């Protein structure tokens, strides 16, 4: 009998759960040995003698860069494309694993020539370029700790991160291309270093958009000038499994950013394993595309380390989805034959808002698996993602009036992996394994823990929930990719994550089980609403709103209310077809809709139609600011405002709230 690919992966995925159920320790030890090359094999799996400070595989040595690059070349896959780079203006670069080996070797030599040694910190403030991946891996190679700061952060935010990590070198670019225009980075680095008292000795500058930049002699060095003259080989050295790999700050939705520290062996084990399992990755044939920025944990784990450690081929894109037109992503899926797409709900909701005619112009038949990350995905968006993007089996016909008649549709359903995880967790924690669970997927639920991780939903005493009401998401046992601490602040690490419940990791998100025991994420615990004694989830009310034809996006908050304790306020963006709808009628229709969808208690007290929502630079809705607006504040909190991608959106919302 011939076993098909589907049967094989289903069988394999099933075995993973079985094996993990027998012994989590054996399971992770096996995965570590099978997924990675260890120069000194480890003998101890987990040292949990000083909780919550875990040590995984501590007496083993390895090298993350060697695992991501060299070993694939040594195995004869040097000609395989590692990265299909596409710049926003349309320039491209095809980088094989053999090319990558040369590039990381030269970059590692360059860093060493600047005196960077093992344990030194390097800040990376770059746009989405091949050099970003090269810089990260070069640090890993020599054991320097990278701290990537998202390219949209201000000089002040960059400086505080440079200071926090005491970075010796900053790697940046003159700038990038964004929405068709040069977007400068170097001036921001200059500003951030203007005040003395920092630790930076050199700034390495990638020449990308070739705009004029200010130059500080002796400090600033062109990346290409230094790197291109270096030897093309570099001897790998081996690092202890617990050697720090990177520091990364959370996106800042809930206040002061935290610099989570991740180490080498455990992190790479779980990232490599989940990359393969969640996405059913076939490195020989798949073309993977994760649309996140390398500045976020998704970019670290599922652009740099996960795909590369698996020897996969991926797409890396510099720009925005709507430049020069709204079909840019779908055009790229068609062009590169992308088979697995991993993106965020915010991007899917934007695509929905623009309408399916945009995507239907392209042939998306190569796609066989879709992923989502960053926020709960509304069931409406999940369905759209699957039906419009996933089932597309060929370009449609563009009619004379510019409408599109969709092309053929796939008959089989494309699975979606809704992955819940955090900067703190390092790698996927909750997700169905689409290869195994394709027939049991539930739109809007991340469903279950990956093999080897024990997740629970507990009440405020830490007892496992016995019904389907809202509780707190926790992780019961240590897992390999867990952050080891907050850089330089063990106490804050313990306080934030390990003191709410005894011996459990507190994720900060609300969740509930359903009747089948599947897990539904309900939003951040800080955002939970309490109306007349009923606890309501922001996520559920938002999803109800998005399910209405009028609504493209929704954000919901609970604001202090004299009679009900809290009252629900909703902020909605209408679909392009509904723009211009009467405000009062829309509000009435939506209130009724939420009432019938969830119950009268969930009806928003007020619904404000707005053209945009406050989002962090990683695309997440910042509910804190909306809550302030709903509670009558007339000015936005400046620190929260500073973390928004577009602070101006709050003006419309604040004035809208004051009009009635």
Give the interface with ligand ATP as residue ranges (CB under 6 A): 250-254, 257, 296-297, 373-376, 418-420, 422-423, 446, 507-509, 521, 524, 618, 620
Q: How many angstroms separate the CA atoms of 332 and 328, rounded?
A: 6
Q: Which does 446 bind (CB under 5 to 8 A by kind): Mg ion, ligand ATP, none?
A: ligand ATP
Tokens of 160: 């505080």
Q: Which does 60 bind (CB under 5 to 8 A by kind): Mg ion, ligand ATP, none?
A: none
CB of 623 vs ligand ATP, minimal distance in Å: 11
**CB distance 161 to 246 below 8 Å:** no
**572 class by beta-carbon count within 10 Å (0-12 exposed, 13-18 middle, 19+ buried):** buried
CB of 252 vs Mg ion, minimal distance in Å: 9
Residue in the block written with tokens 């549709």: 409
Pairing state between β 244-249 and 239-240? unpaired
Nearer to ligand ATP, 80 or 615 (CB): 615
Query: How many of the other CB atoms lie within 10 Å of CB of 3?
Result: 9
**CB distance 589 to 548 below 8 Å:** yes
Q: How many angstroms separate the CA atoms of 231 and 227, rounded?
A: 9
**245 to 304, contacts with Mg ion by CB under 5 A?**
250
CB of 37 vs Mg ion, minimal distance in Å: 32
Residue in the block written with tokens 């619904």: 607
Q: Which does 297 bind (CB under 5 to 8 A by kind): ligand ATP, Mg ion, none?
A: ligand ATP
| CA 348 to each of CA 319, 375, 618: distance values in angstroms, whole numbers, following the listed order | 16, 11, 14
Q: How many angstroms separate the CA atoms of 558 and 568, rounded?
A: 5
Q: Give all strands (DSSP E) within 575-605, no chain letters.
A: none
Nearer to Mg ion, 250 or 539 (CB): 250
Nearer to ligand ATP, 230 or 422 (CB): 422
Q: Give all strands (DSSP E) within 401-446, no chain letters.
A: 404-405, 416-419
Tokens of 189: 């680095």
| Count, residues near Mg ion per rule CB under 5 A | 1
CB of 291 vs ligand ATP, minimal distance in Å: 14
CB of 247 vs Mg ion, minimal distance in Å: 16
CB of 254 vs Mg ion, minimal distance in Å: 6
Nearer to Mg ion, 250 or 391 (CB): 250
> Which residues, other chains included, contact 620 with Cβ-Cβ below 8 Å and sequence gap of 6+?
251, 253, 346, 374, 375
**CB distance 321 to 86 below 8 Å:** no
Q: Which does 374 bind (CB under 5 to 8 A by kind): ligand ATP, Mg ion, none?
A: ligand ATP
CB of 353 vs Mg ion, minimal distance in Å: 26
Nearer to ligand ATP, 366 or 470 (CB): 470
Q: Which does 192 bind (CB under 5 to 8 A by kind): Mg ion, ligand ATP, none?
A: none
Nearer to ligand ATP, 227 or 294 (CB): 294
Q: Which helix (H) or strand (E) holds 172?
A: strand 169-173
Gyration radius (Cα) of the chain, Å: 24
CB of 61 vs Mg ion, minimal distance in Å: 32
CB of 520 vs ligand ATP, minimal distance in Å: 9
Tokens of 497: 């994550």
Nearer to ligand ATP, 36 or 373 (CB): 373
CB of 443 vs ligand ATP, minimal distance in Å: 12
Q: Which does 541 bind (CB under 5 to 8 A by kind): ligand ATP, Mg ion, none?
A: none
Q: How many angstroms separate the CA atoms of 470 and 512, rounded?
A: 5
Q: Which does 524 bind (CB under 5 to 8 A by kind): ligand ATP, Mg ion, none?
A: ligand ATP
Per the document, the length of the chain is 660
The residues facing 557 across adjacent strands are 569
Q: Which does 87 bind (CB under 5 to 8 A by kind): ligand ATP, Mg ion, none?
A: none
Nearer to ligand ATP, 131 or 164 (CB): 164
Q: Which does 375 bind (CB under 5 to 8 A by kind): Mg ion, ligand ATP, none?
A: ligand ATP
For 439-487, give the DSSP string.
Answer: GG--TT--BSBPTT--EEEE-TTSPBPSSSS-EEEEE-S--TT---EET
Q: Which does 373 bind (CB under 5 to 8 A by kind): Mg ion, ligand ATP, none?
A: ligand ATP
**CB distance 139 to 120 below 8 Å:** no
Q: Which does 420 bind (CB under 5 to 8 A by kind): Mg ion, ligand ATP, none?
A: ligand ATP
CB of 496 vs ligand ATP, minimal distance in Å: 9
**CB distance 364 to 396 below 8 Å:** no
- Binding positions for Mg ion, rule: CB under 5 A: 250
């Amino acid at each position: 009998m011939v076993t098909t690919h589907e049967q094989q992966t289903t069988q394999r995925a099933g075995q993973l759960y079985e094996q993990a159920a027998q012994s989590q320790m054996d399971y992770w030890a096996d995965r570590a040995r099978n997924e990675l090359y260890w120069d000194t094999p480890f003998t101890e799996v987990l040292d949990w003698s000083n909780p919550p400070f875990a040590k995984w595989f501590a007496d083993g040595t390895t090298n993350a860069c060697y695992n991501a690059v060299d070993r694939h070349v040594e195995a004869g896959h040097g000609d395989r494309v590692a990265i299909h780079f596409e710049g926003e203006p349309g320039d491209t670069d095809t980088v094989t694993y053999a090319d990558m080996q040369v590039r990381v070797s030269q970059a590692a030599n360059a860093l060493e020539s600047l005196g960077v040694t093992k344990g030194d910190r390097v800040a990376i403030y770059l746009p989405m370029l091949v050099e970003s991946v090269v810089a990260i891996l070069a640090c890993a190679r020599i054991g320097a700790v990278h701290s990537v700061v998202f390219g949209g952060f201000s000089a002040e935010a960059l400086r505080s991160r440079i200071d926090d990590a005491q970075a010796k070198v900053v790697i940046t670019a003159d700038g990038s291309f964004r929405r068709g225009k040069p977007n400068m980075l170097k001036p921001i680095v200059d500003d951030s270093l203007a005040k003395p008292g920092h630790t930076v000795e050199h700034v390495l500058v990638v020449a990308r958009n070739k705009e004029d930049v200010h130059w500080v002699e002796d400090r600033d060095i062109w990346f290409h000038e230094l790197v291109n003259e270096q030897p093309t080989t570099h001897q790998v050295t081996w690092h202890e499994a617990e050697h720090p790999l990177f520091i990364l700050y959370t996106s800042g939705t809930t206040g002061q950013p935290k610099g989570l520290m991740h180490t080498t062996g455990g992190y790479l084990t779980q990232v490599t394993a989940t990359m393969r399992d969640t996405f059913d990755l076939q490195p020989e044939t798949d073309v993977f595309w994760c649309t996140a920025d390398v500045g976020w944990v998704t970019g670290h784990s599922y652009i740099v380390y996960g795909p590369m450690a698996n020897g996969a081929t991926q797409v890396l894109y510099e720009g925005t989805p709507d430049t020069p037109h709204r079909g840019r992503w779908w055009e790229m899926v068609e062009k590169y034959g992308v088979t697995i797409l991993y993106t965020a709900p915010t991007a899917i909701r934007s695509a929905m808002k623009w309408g399916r005619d945009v995507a239907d112009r392209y042939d998306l038949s190569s796609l066989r698996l879709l992923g989502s990350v960053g926020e709960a995905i509304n069931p409406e968006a999940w369905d759209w993602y699957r039906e419009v993007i996933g089932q597309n089996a060929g370009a449609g016909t563009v009619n004379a009036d510019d409408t599109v008649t969709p092309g053929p549709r796939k008959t089989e359903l494309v699975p979606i992996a809704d992955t819940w995880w955090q900067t703190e967790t390092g790698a996927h924690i909750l997700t169905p394994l689409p290869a195994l669970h394709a027939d049991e997927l539930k739109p809007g639920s991340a469903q279950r823990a990956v093999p080897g991780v024990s997740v629970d939903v507990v009440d405020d005493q830490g007892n496992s929930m016995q019904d389907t009401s809202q509780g707190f998401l926790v992780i019961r046992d240590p897992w390999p990719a867990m952050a080891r601490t907050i850089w330089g602040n063990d106490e804050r690490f313990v306080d934030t994550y390990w003191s709410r419940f005894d011996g459990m990791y507190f994720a900060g998100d609300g969740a509930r089980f359903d009747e089948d025991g599947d897990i539904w994420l309900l939003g951040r615990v800080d955002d939970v609403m309490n109306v007349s004694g009923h606890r309501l989830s922001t996520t559920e009310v938002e999803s109800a709103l998005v399910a209405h034809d009028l609504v493209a996006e929704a954000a919901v908050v609970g604001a202090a209310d004299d009679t009900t304790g809290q009252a629900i306020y909703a902020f909605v963006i209408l679909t392009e077809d509904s723009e211009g709808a009467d405000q009062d009628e829309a509000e009435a229709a939506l209130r009724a809709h939420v009432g019938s969808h969830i119950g009268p208690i969930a009806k928003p007290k007020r619904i404000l139609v707005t053209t945009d929502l406050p989002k962090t630079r990683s695309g997440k809705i910042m509910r804190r600011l909306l809550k302030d607006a709903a509670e009558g504040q007339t000015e936005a909190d400046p620190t929260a405002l500073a973390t928004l991608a577009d602070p101006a959106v709050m003006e419309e919302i604040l004035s809208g709230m004051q009009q009635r």
